[in-house]
Amino acid sequence: YACELTADPRVMEPVYLVEIQCPETAMGGIYGVLTRRRGHVFEESRVMGTPMYVIKAYLPVMESFGFTADLRSNTGGQAFPQCVFDHWQILPGNPLGPTSEPGVVVMETRKREGLKEGIPALDNYLDKL
């Protein structure tokens, strides 16, 4: 465990590929919801012969809980999302820092698993003569 504490650890988070079908009038609401939830759009295309658009975005799984309801309320029920796992990404920040986003995730996980809330000190794992 000491080697993990001294190795500059990082937290990986799963990311969804989200495909949203909507009319042009609902696009502003979609961008707003995705921005608030750390998502970002990487493709936007129009479906030929229809007034519909298809927006493709990446959304961290951690931010996806309640996403569909939030999206529907911000677009008047005009947006239809589909989510599928796409990749893992590094959650920026130091997981050993209690105020960083990864640090908060680590603390919440430790609490949920019944472990002590604080990360054990490195001194607990070093050899003592």
pLDDT tens per residue across all 129 residues of the chain: 777 787 888 999 999 999 999 999 999 999 999 999 999 999 999 999 999 999 999 999 999 999 999 999 999 999 999 999 999 999 989 888 888 999 988 898 888 899 988 888 888 877 766
Q: Are residues 115 and 81 in the same domain?
A: no
What are the distances in angstroms from CA 12 to CA 9, 60, 61, 104, 121?
10, 11, 11, 14, 22
Residues 14 and 116: their CA atoms lie apart, in Å, by 25
Residue 64 sits in the same domain as residue 113: no
What is residue 36's predicted lDDT score, i.e. its pLDDT? 94
Q: Are residues 73 and 47 in the same domain?
A: yes
- Residue 82: what pLDDT? 96
Burial of 44 per CB tally in 10 Å (0-12, 13-18, 19+): middle
Domains contained in the chain, number: 2
Does one domain contain both 25 and 64?
A: yes
Residue 23: CATH number of its domain? 3.30.70.240
Structure letter (DSSP) for residue 9: -
Which tokens belong to 85?
């796992």
pTM of the model: 0.80
Q: How far is CA 69 from CA 19, 77, 127, in A?
A: 15, 9, 53
Does some domain include residue 113? yes
Domain that holds residue 103: 2-9+92-124
Same domain, 62 and 40: yes
Q: Are residues 56 and 116 in the same domain?
A: no
91, 10 Cβ separation under 8 angstroms? yes
Tell me if 17 sits within 8 A of 86, measured CB to CB. yes
Residues 82 and 99 reside in one and the same domain = no
Query: Are 64 and 86 in a shared domain?
Result: yes
> Are 63 and 96 in a shared domain?
no
Same-domain status, 36 and 81? yes
